[in-house]
Amino acid sequence: MTSKAPCPQGESLQVFKGTFIHATHTSPMETLTPLILGVNRTGKIVFIENVDKEEELSQAWHFQKKNIRVLREREEFFIPGLVDTHIHASQYPNMGTCLDLPLLEWLVRYTFPVESKFKDPKFTEDVYTKLVKRTLRNGTTTACYFATIHTDSTLKLCSIIDNLGQRAFVGKVCMDLNDLFPEYKEKLCESVVETKRFVAELTGREYPLVKPIVTPRFVPSCSSELMQQLGSYASSEGLHIQSHISESRAEVELVKSLFPECKNYTDVYDRHSLLNDKTIMAHGVYLSNDELKVFQKKGAAISHCPNSNISLGSGLFDVRNALHHQVKIGLGTDVSGGYSPSVLNAMRAAIDVTKILGFQSSNYERLTYQEIFRLATLGGSQGDDRNMVEVYVAGKKVVPFPNA
């Protein structure tokens, strides 16, 4: 929640007092009350302590008690920022519509056409500005975005995110296969060169909170050569990787027919060096236990996107089983397969999914709402090493994931 900081004199602070709710590895939801929190001019939390330290803190930091914003008891509380581990910024124009087809048909009929519009800079700026503002309004302080195949438009998304102060990973989508909508694809060489240009330009801008993520769309859209080149590039540069895996039965069958020599869908990514502890794969509905073991061994994470899985009729992801396999899990809105940009909505949908799994099997250990809160906050932050500062709450060091 806060990094330990020295106490410079005379810095202007915003100070809050009230109830804090957070998650740790030992407790999925912990209520800390009452605490006092100071935020400096740059938006950094500079202290978070028990209220009995108020006097001491007001002297050290020179704030007046009358300026403390006191949260209303039982009505207001602080939580950590929500983390959306999978969202397609470019599908925002379709959000809440076009959900009458299963995944593979949905991509061709609705999704590729809307994404292809992002070569237009005006359209790009308009849509991305609205989308990022909307996610921030919904409490998403960190997001893992898919953009489109267009590099400059994706860089525009990065500058909008930076401007609006969100933390993000942003991916220029890579896809060199698309027979059913050929207007929206790249050549192999172009996809790799443009990914490198995207990473170089974004890194050069030195945005403090916005980082690139290598983004092969999914196996059916990428040649083996493209996946191999992206895998080795990501490894050599230490970059994060995002893609989709095992979302629908038809997709799993398609991948089997495309890569008959591979053991399963996970094996395809693994053989192309795309599965490691910086990888986040969306969905994973149909992953076998053997595949989950590979995820655990490699340290790869899964983004659970329950709204999308229901809306596109893809299936029900068993979070409990993945947690039993010690796989890292976060929550994703998956706009526009999911119809809501809110992680709170993803939490509600995750509750629905775990209840449905409970109806199907009487001894199923449903997720608790506290566990879902942890998925939406701490769960989604695993693997983002920018979060690995030393964290102290009320003078006590908090170790979110000691074995991570």
Ligand X SMILES: O=c1[nH]c(=O)c2nc[nH]c2[nH]1
- Considering the rule CB under 6 A, would residue 107 count as an interface residue with ligand X? yes
Our CB check for ligand X shows the closer of 37 and 99 to be 99
Q: How far apart are CA 346 and CA 338, in angstroms?
A: 9
Per-residue contact flags (x/-) with ligand X for residues 337 to 356, judged by CB under 6 A: x-------------------
Q: Which stretch binds ligand X (CB under 6 A): 42-50, 103-111, 117-125, 185-193?
A: 103-111
The DSSP letter of residue 53 is G
**Count helices and strands in the chain by DSSP H and E runs:** 15, 15
State the minimum distance, in angstroms, from the CB of residue 340 to ligand X.
14
Positions in 68-97 near ligand X (CB under 6 A): 88
| 303 sits near ligand X (criterion: CB under 6 A) | no
Least spacing, CB of residue 300 vs ligand X, in Å? 17
Helical H segments across 299-397, by residue range: 306-311, 319-324, 343-360, 369-374, 380-381
Q: Does 186 bind ligand X (CB under 6 A)?
A: no
Whichever of 167 and 217 has its CB closer to ligand X, that residue is 217
Tokens at 31, concatenated: 């209520």
96: phi then psi, degrees, rounded to nearest 5 = 85, 5
Q: Please list the residues that pair with 282 across neighbouring strands.
A: 244, 303
Q: Which is nearer to ligand X, 15 or 282 (CB)?
A: 282
Quickly count: other Cβ atoms within 10 Å of residue 269's Cβ: 28
The C-alpha angle 188, 192, 194, rounded to 5 degrees, equals 115
Return the residues of window 212-231 that contact ligand X according to CB under 6 A.
217-218
The residue number with the shortest CB distance to ligand X is 337
Residue 146 CB, nearest distance to ligand X (Å)? 7
CB of 327 to ligand X, least distance (A): 19
In this complex, which beta carbon is closest to ligand X, that of residue 101 or of residue 351?
Answer: 101
Question: CA quadruple 241, 246, 252, 254: dihedral positive or negative?
Answer: negative
Give dist(CA 177, CA 111) in Å, integer: 15
Residue 64: CB minimum distance to ligand X, A: 51
By beta-carbon proximity to ligand X, the closer residue of 63 and 265 is: 265
Q: Which of 118, 137, 141 is nearest to 128 (CA)?
A: 118
Cβ proximity to ligand X, 32 vs 331, nearer residue: 331
Instruction: Name which of residues 49 to 68 contact ligand X (CB under 6 A).
Output: none
- Through-space distance between the first and last CA atoms of the chain, rounded to whole angstroms: 18
Pick the closer one to ligand X by CB: 87 or 394. Answer: 87
Length of the chain measured in residues: 404
Q: In the window 311-340, what residues touch ligand X (CB under 6 A)?
A: 334, 337
Amino acid identity, residue 44?
K
The nearest distance, CB 334 to ligand X, in angstroms, is 5
Q: Find, among 256, 266, 315, 273, the residue nearest to 291 by Cα.
A: 266
Binding site for ligand X (CB under 6 A): 88, 103, 107, 111, 217-218, 244, 247, 308, 334, 337
